[in-house]
Chains A and B, each alone.
Chain A
Amino acid sequence: MKKTIKSIIRHFVLLFLSVIWLIPILWLFVTSFSGYKGINTSHFFPETWTLDNYAQLFLRSDSIVQYNRWFLNTLVIAIFSCLISTILVLMVSYTMSKLRFTGRKGLMSFSIILNMFPGVLSMIAIYFILKTLGLTNSHLGMIIVYSAGAGLGYLICKGFMDTISVSLSEAARLEGASEAKIFWSVIIPLSKPIIVYTVINAFLAPWGDFVFAKLMLNSGVATDWTVAIGLFNMLGKSMINKYFSVFCAGGVIIAIPISILFVIMQKCYVEGITGGSVKG
């Protein structure tokens, strides 16, 4: 009996918390179907329901809503950054985990400390370096920035690779395999969970980034924008009352690729985090 009461209380607490967490998302979701384009503060649920906001996003591009274009831009940037950073992270992890060389410990500590500084600190410096190279307002520049420092985030992945028995790579080495061969043919096939984790992480950062994109894409040309900047632009004081529900629809759509990626890789994701943390 006592157990049941405790369980009920626990569930009520959880229910309460989940309501708090879900309300903003629910509001965003229902507002995306609102027939009224502005912010309606006096009703939670819209008075009129419509799919028009989504139609406007995809079918009726104007100077303010160019969602297809933004979506494509963001997807291209995110996919390429994701590929490059995943490869960098895996390679660095392999080096730190399986190879022994002078200064390894020092290098490891150094990169971990370096990685602890927030990226925004160097933002202005990076902007001017890229400007000198003519890479501002270009998607190539953004891909470089998102993926260049990725190797520093090797810690969890290295922790996972530490759990792969050394005897495997030693055996391969005795057979005459090169380091590259060991990496690609022995370690990578065994690291599926952590690869999934790295891929998701590497995809999420550029997919949702706003600060850096805003700084880099400063020409004001809407066709160059990513989704984050485009959506932010709809919240300008003169536009918010005509585009708020469209903004919500855009926010809902942006969550779809992440959700798909996550659902597909969910099983491995959990394995990856826990596996990597054992010896992390």
Chain B
Amino acid sequence: MKKKVLATLLATAMVAGCLAGCGNSNDGAASTPATEEAAPAEDAAPAEDAAPAEDAAPAEDTSSAADASDPIATLIANTSGTVALTVWASEEDQDLTTKLLDDFKATYPDVTFDITLGAESESTAKDTILTDVEAAADVFAFADDQINELVQAGALQEVAAHYTYDVAAENATGAVEAATVDGKLYAYPMTADNGYFMFYDSSVFTEDDVKSLEKMIEVADAAGKKIAMDISNGWYIYAFFQGAGLELTLNDDGMTNTCAWNAAGGTDVAQAIIDLTASNVFVDMGDEDMATQIAEGNVVACVNGTWRAETAQEAWGDNYAACKLPTFNAGGKDCQMSSYSGYKLVGVNPHSANLGWSMLLAEFLTNEAAQTARFDARGLGPANLAAASSDAVQSNPAIAALAAQAAYATPQRVGGNFWSPAETLGQILASGNPDGTDLQELLDTTVEGITAPVE
């Protein structure tokens, strides 16, 4: 009998556990921050640690205008015991971040740190963080297009004050804008090179050739080589439509889009893409294929970003060159191809038990010295104005090309419904519209998909 009672109790406990689990998961999925019940459950965050962090937050608010050493002194004074922090940086950034973390510990020798460095790609950070914001790292790097959703989910701490440097003043305006949502700064700009431009082999093209896509195709055709671009990818095909003045913008709700690709002139752009790809010299090619084809010498120019710089440099050696995107001819008019500009940002998790230290660390990972080190180690373009104006940065072909393209680039602000219709459109156009669909109709369908409401 006793056993049965015990069994029933255990079963009840399990069911209750399940229900509690479900409840928590709902909380996590909705954008409300931590429930009181869940916070103490995190074993990693002892209660004493949480108190000084809260003390530190008002301290930094009051003294933001005063001299910089004060809030840090307050922070150190309010810290007792070990400061446990988790940092997420991309795989490629691990070595550099490890070094920076060591420097950080050395800068504050009076404090005991327990910093764990995890690997999380900037491009997928949002997905991992939104699965469970509380379990995410205290300080993490992410790409700027994810900022809206991260802010909505309460996964970013507002940068209301600063310890060591003025984030808004020392970084490029575009980068600061990209880190700002509704007029509030939410992240620390880390790099400013997450956009695309044109790489080319200067033994095939002259500097004049690369000004127009039509001319490039002519030259490449004569040389029997190819020009590659990932046309069947919304991120890249945007260059054509935006270049012709057809806008795609994110609505105020932060989820749905407004798209004018089917407006007057849209069919000209679509026809232009069909014509450009018809020669089979200008080809639709994914990033991985591009790497292979560049190495094999088949592709002599491609639209891609700084992450391919190494591949291109290896393959073309001294002939490696980069420039802004060329013009293309739509409806008898030369249009400058536009592009998305992208930034990588460092954010602080508001659920962090050591908020003050997290923010200080985020500053440390993105200050001028860190951005310079990042450029030296990995060739990534700094967002920091002082770091970006150094001679080494200025003379880097890829960074220079990005800077030239910047005038025509727009920050990537687009809702999730954009990608799949744009990809389909790209595939159809790059394969020459095999079904012969009326172009206006094709664009109407695409725009309908892009502007569809989000449920």
Contacts and interface: CB of A to CB of B under 8 A. Distances in A.
A134 B40 CA distance: 11
A220 B120 contact: yes
A236 B121 contact: yes
What 7 A-B pairs come out closest when comparing CB atoms?
A220-B118, A63-B94, A128-B21, A129-B21, A134-B43, A128-B24, A125-B21
B202 interface: no
A219 B116 contact: yes
B21 A42 contact: no
Contact of B41 (A124, A127, A132, A219): A132
Given A218-B131, A221-B116, A128 B25 contact: yes
Contacts of B21: 124-129, 132
Nearest to B89: A220
Interface stretch (B145-153, B203-211, B287-295, B317-325): B287-295
A237 interface: yes
B33 interface: no
B453 interface: no
B28 interface: yes
Contact of B291 (A38, A127, A131): A38
B90 interface: yes
Interface string B130-172: 0110011100000000000000000000000000000000000
Interface in B91-127: 91-92, 94-95, 98, 116-121, 123-124
Given A129-B21, A131-B135, A241-B311, A63 B95 contact: yes
B132 A131 contact: yes
Contacts of B296: 42
Interface string A47-87: 00000000000000001100000000000000000000000
Contact of A219 (B95, B98, B118): B118
B17 interface: yes
Interface centre among A131, A134, A215 (most CB of B within 10 A): A131
A252 interface: no
A109 interface: no
B232 to A, nearest CB: 16
B418 interface: no
A237 B288 CA distance: 8
B291 A241 contact: yes
A280 to B, nearest CB: 28
Interface residues of A, number: 31
Interface string B20-41: 1110110010000000001001
Given A126-B21, A129-B21, A236 B91 contact: yes
Contacts of B41: 131-132, 134
A41 B18 contact: no
Interface string A230-243: 00010011111100
Nearest to A131: B135
Contacts of B95: 63
B88 interface: yes
Given A41-B289, A238-B92, A240-B288, A132 B24 contact: yes
Given A38-B291, A128-B21, A219-B118, A63 B311 contact: no
Contact of B307 (A131, A132, A136, A238): A238
B91 A233 contact: yes
B410 interface: no
Contacts of A266: none
B80 interface: no
B86 interface: yes
